[in-house]
Amino acid sequence: MKNKGLTKVDLIFDSIDIMKVMKKAFEMTSDEIIEQILASGLKGRGGAGFPTGLKWKYTAAEKDPEKYIVCNADEGEPGTFKDREILDRVASKVYAGMAIAGKAMGASKGFIYLRGEYRFLLPQLFIELHKFHKLINEIGYDFSIEYRMGSGAYICGEESALFESIEGFRGEPRNKPPYPTVSGLFSKPTSINNVETLVTAVMIIEKGPQEYVKLGTKDSRGSKVFSISGDTPIPGIFELELGMTVQEFVNEFGDGDTKAVQVGGASGFCVPRKKFGETIIGFEGVPTGGSMKLFNSSRSMYNVLHNYLDFFAEESCGQCTPCRVGCQQLLKGIEKVKKGDSKSTYLNELVKLADTMKVASKCGLGQSVGNAFKSIVENFREEIIY
């Protein structure tokens, strides 16, 4: 497959006339906005990659007069820090994205769920929000936004756990269906979108979907903000066109000794050096919410995996057994193999457990523990054992 190479883009952080783009959107009908987002092929930028236009369309189709637009700013995936940067630099574009989404689906109320670790941003975000509310008043459109804070729970980035948290409960994910578009926050139809998704939607309205689809590939349209860390001389935030291979990424960001790249954080996939050339970063290859961690040959992949499993064992909400017990057993399991208390073939049993967690866990947390576990164990088996 031909890929796109590595191209830097400047859409998300580009300063635009918020008033102008909101007026443009408010002159359109709800269907027209949704059509444009659908035509752009935009998929959610939080990691899961659900088509944004469809989410808005399903929420718009609900008859309930009370609906919500929720911005998920509970960025907690290890290695992800782009949403903080976006809120810090272009909060007004996030607010505008929520207003446009609200117009598309018929919601006049928005909530932003910000992780507690980012509370220091609030004073500035409130100043921006005040300006935004004044602006939207001037346009004469009925829409307002409120902040709700997280308190240090990774699981609250899961959409239904996030609703539970806003409603004042333990952040335990709900059974699905019903999906949020039918019954979300306060059991009302809700569209919940990632910070970057909302800003991207604003840029699609501003530039038109025809411009946007020129970027990226058939399965992964557009560009994406990447959070780059680990063994790289240039860690930080970079907006790149989708469709590059891991090899092209490593050529730009590696330190010359990269042995593995963890794409998508602790819940993502580990790509070893031998697969850099064939692996595309995007929905046709390995998807990512933005987290890209590079590891060079001085790093023990056992330590990496142990760190991730320790993370999941702590952050599992404990509600469903496969995840609660599974995370603990995977962690104990690799420790036993490392110490020599269990044979190396025990790893095969642990892989089966990870597969079971994928099928049987209630939410994305338990379902995706196996991604990192299997891709590290399969590609770096000797490092786990010896």
Partner 1 sequence: MYNTGNMVKELAEKHGRKRESLMPILQDIVRKHNYLTDDAMVAIASELDISAAEVYGTASFYTFLDTEERGKNIIRVCKTITCSMKGKNDILSTLEDILKIKVGETTPDKMFTLLETNCIGWCHKAPAILINDMPYTDLTPETVIDVVKGYMR
Closer by beta carbon to partner 1, 160 or else 227: 227
Residue in 32, 88, 142, 167 binding partner 1, rule: CB under 8 A: 167
**Residue 150 pairs with which residues in a beta bridge?**
none
Window 314 to 343, contacts with partner 1 (CB under 8 A): 314-315, 317
Window 220 to 259, contacts with partner 1 (CB under 8 A): 227-231, 235-237
CA distance 284 to 30: 30
Residue in 40, 59, 160, 165 binding partner 1, rule: CB under 8 A: 165
Minimal distance in Å, beta carbon 206 to partner 1?
28
CA distance 54 to 204: 15
Token output for 213: 């689809």
Q: Does 266 bind partner 1 (CB under 8 A)?
A: yes
| Size of site (CB under 8 A) for partner 1 | 49
Closer by beta carbon to partner 1, 207 or else 374: 374
Q: Does 299 bind partner 1 (CB under 8 A)?
A: yes
Q: Alpha-carbon dihedral of residues 305, 267, 375, 363, nearest 10 degrees? A: 120
Window 95 to 154, contacts with partner 1 (CB under 8 A): 115-120, 148-154
Window 345 to 374, contacts with partner 1 (CB under 8 A): none
Q: Does 196 bind partner 1 (CB under 8 A)?
A: no
Window 54 to 93, contacts with partner 1 (CB under 8 A): 75-81, 84
Segment lying near partner 1 (by CB under 8 A), choices 41-49, 207-215, 282-290, 309-317: 309-317
Q: Does 380 bind partner 1 (CB under 8 A)?
A: no
Closer by beta carbon to partner 1, 114 or else 350: 114
Segment lying near partner 1 (by CB under 8 A), choices 21-29, 62-70, 302-310, 339-347: 302-310
* Maximum CA extent, the chain: 70
Residue in 29, 303, 321, 348 binding partner 1, rule: CB under 8 A: 303
Residue in 4, 43, 93, 293 binding partner 1, rule: CB under 8 A: 293
**Residue 70 pairs with which residues in a beta bridge?**
111, 192
88-118 burial, b if ≥16 CB within 10 A, otherwise e? Answer: eebbbbbbbbbbbbbbbbbbbbbbbbbbeeb
Whether omega for the bond prior to residue 177 falls within 30 degrees of 0, making it cis, is yes
CA distance 198 to 187: 22
Minimal distance in Å, beta carbon 74 to partner 1?
11
Tell me, residue by residue from 168 to 187, as one string, x for binding to partner 1 by CB under 8 A and - for no binding: xxxxx-------------x-
Which residues in this chain contact partner 1 in the complex, by CB under 8 A?
A: 75-81, 84, 115-120, 148-154, 165-172, 186, 227-231, 235-237, 266, 293, 299, 303-304, 307-308, 311, 314-315, 317
